[in-house]
Amino acid sequence: MSSLDTTSGRDGSALHLTGVSKRFGGVQAVADVDLDVGHGHRVSVIGPNGAGKSSLFNTIAGEYKPTAGRIEMLGEDVTGWSIQRRAHAGLVRTFQTSRLFTGVSVADNLYLALCGLPRSVNRLTNADRDDDRRARARELAERVGLRARLDAVVGDLSHGEQRQLELAMALGGNARVLMLDEPAAGLSPSERGLLTSLLEDLDREITLLLIEHDMDIALRVAERVVVMADGQKVLEGTPAEVRSSALVRSIYLGGDLHAS
């Protein structure tokens, strides 16, 4: 493994992985990954399809139990914690596939996110009486450019608007560590520009870990970039170092990594 950059050290870590591996039968999806993400840092994880990025994310989030290794979050060993316990501690994530309530409004989705986990449409019965959460839902919608769509049914939103809503819902979860899994997938150029601005403007109290195929976003938003291939972390460095890396170019079969 090549390393272009040193990490910030355990004392300043929001996330710290030591030798994390995940095997599915005979398939080694994640192999002995070490990673340190400092408080408030922005880190992008890139790599070709099948590199192990989503498997690594799912292991960090608690969806998968690691075959080996240790995961620490905010100074706590969370390796054996459930998804819910990690979420309550401040680890919030989005998914490649939308997990929204498509039959109710934007406002109701945000309200349910603010109610905490587990969420249930049944919570809407008394929703009108919860003025504080309703006001917060309006603030979140405005933050991601959806204030004018609060009353729209989520199933009627564009794909880009649904992605904006997912980000708003994640931010409503009092995230301390925010993990976004390909948030720009399927977005138009203008929607990608909005997403980039939203990520750049995130509160520095929030640590961001991002999987993204769009190199313009991945390299612009991040301070450090982790490159994966065949389940391994093969390189880590600044965006400039990753752009100029011959190893990265070979991994992407000669593709151009230079972002505007």
Q: What are phi and psi of 55, to 5 degrees?
A: -65, -40
Torsion of CA 174, 180, 185, 190, to 10 degrees: 50
Q: HSE-up of 23 (CA within 13 Å, CB side)?
A: 10
Given the structure tokens 């992605």, which residue do they identify?
A: 163
75's torsion region: left (phi>0), alpha (psi -120 to 50) or beta? left
Given the structure tokens 């019965």, which residue do they identify?
A: 125
The predicted structure's pLDDT at residue 118: 47
The predicted structure's pLDDT at residue 121: 52
> Of 144, 120, 14, 26, whose CA–CA distance to 71 is shortest?
14
What Å distances lie between residue 99 and 93, 154, 167, 168, 188, CA to CA?
11, 11, 12, 13, 20
The predicted structure's pLDDT at residue 26: 93
What is d(CA 58, CA 52) in angstroms, rounded to the nearest whole number? Answer: 10
> Of 175, 169, 159, 161, whose CA–CA distance to 61 is shortest?
175
- The domain limits of the chain are 1-90+175-260, 101-174
Q: What are phi and psi of 82, to 5 degrees?
A: -75, 165
- Provide DSSP, 140-207: HHHHTT-GGGTTSBGGGS-HHHHHHHHHHHHHTT--SEEEEESTTTT--HHHHHHHHHHHHTS-TTSE
Q: What is the pLDDT tens value at each position of the chain, 260 positions in all?
A: 444 433 344 557 999 999 999 999 999 999 999 999 999 999 999 999 899 999 999 999 999 999 999 999 999 999 999 998 998 899 998 876 667 888 999 999 998 888 864 445 555 555 555 788 889 999 999 988 899 999 999 999 988 888 889 888 888 877 899 999 888 888 888 888 888 998 998 889 999 999 988 888 999 999 999 999 999 999 999 999 999 999 998 887 654 555 43
User: Hey, what are 89's tokens?
Assistant: 């501690």
User: Hey, what are 118's tokens?
Assistant: 């587990």
CA 258-259-260 angle, to 5 degrees, is 125
pLDDT tens digit sequence for 156-204: 998 888 888 988 888 887 789 999 988 888 888 888 888 899 899 888 9
For residues 164 and 144, the answer to whether their CB atoms sit within 8 Å is yes
Q: Which amino acid is at 109?
A: N
Task: Classify domain 1-90+175-260 by CATH architecture.
Answer: 3-Layer(aba) Sandwich (3.40)
User: What single-letter DSSP state applies at residue 125?
Assistant: G
What is d(CA 117, CA 141) in angstroms, rounded to the nearest whole number? Answer: 20
